[in-house]
Amino acid sequence: MGQLDGRVAIVTGSGRGIGRNIALRLVRDGAAVVINDIDEAPATDTVAAIAQQGGRAVACVGDVTAKDFGERIVQTAVDAFGGCHIVVNNAGYTWDSVIQKMSDEQWYAIIDVHLTAPFRILRAFQQHFRSRVDAERKAGKRVMRKVVNISSTSGVNGNAGQSNYSSGKAGIIGLTKALSKEWGRYDVTVNAVAFGYIQTRLTTPLQEGEAGEIEVQGRKVKVGIQGGRIAAMNQMIPLGRGGTPEEAAGSVYLLCSPDSDYVSGQCLVVNGGL
């Protein structure tokens, strides 16, 4: 038996990268998972990979910043699996500039995906679990629920060229701490994980002068890190390297498992000891 047998999880941004690995890790211990990506292909590919392993998953494709998305993804979990016990707010990307070159569009796009979208999803989650908690307690049951919000060391320490991203990731830590105080009485733990350098498509090593990019909502957004910067970061990180998506997923799993039932309102920094 897995520690998460009978649990239902939502993981946003789980078609690729860290989110996909989080979903696979939760499924490995018995959870059923709602997979989300802004693009259909990676979401359905992850669902298929989980099914091949004998796990249960469904896709909820769409933009997490849509105003109705919170209600839609929670309802997807309820319709497919009968409820929801775990929410991992992982979806996001970076769109960097120094502040004097940053547009309002650039600011709000990043704040919306990293802070407003999790707020709406968690608001919908509360509306789902509130009545269920009453019914469970009347039946003499105590059911722990879990929220893990993904932050960043940019939100903990700040980072030049990322005033929008740093603000959003700092804000999600504040939301985490506030909800841990609101929801403790419902047996819901709310924690955050702040990642340092993790090796994903957003941190792809680039050759000098090379430019990488992704497309989000029709926008071309530059991503990737120059190889020289990565080498410098690896020298500063005590473990000598960036983390893998699988290692990142392990830290999130810890806060989703029963082993963390008395851990709430915390921000776990995952940065190789930097």
Among 86, 102, 133, 57, CA closest to 252: 86
Among 40, 150, 35, CA closest to 94: 150
What does the alpha-carbon distance between residue 2 and residue 8 come to, in Å, rounded to a whole number?
Answer: 13
Positions marked catalytic: 165
Cβ contacts of 102-110, under 8 Å, gap ≥ 24: 102/163, 102/164, 106/164, 107/163, 107/164, 109/65, 109/164, 109/216, 109/217, 109/219, 110/164, 110/165, 110/168
Hey, how many other C-beta atoms are within 10 angstroms of the C-beta on 261?
Answer: 12
What does the alpha-carbon distance between residue 3 and residue 26 come to, in Å, rounded to a whole number?
Answer: 9
Contact 65, 88 (CB under 8 A): no
User: Backbone dihedral region of 159: left (phi > 0), alpha (psi from -120 to 50 degrees) or beta?
Assistant: beta
Among 146, 151, 149, 179, CA closest to 259: 146
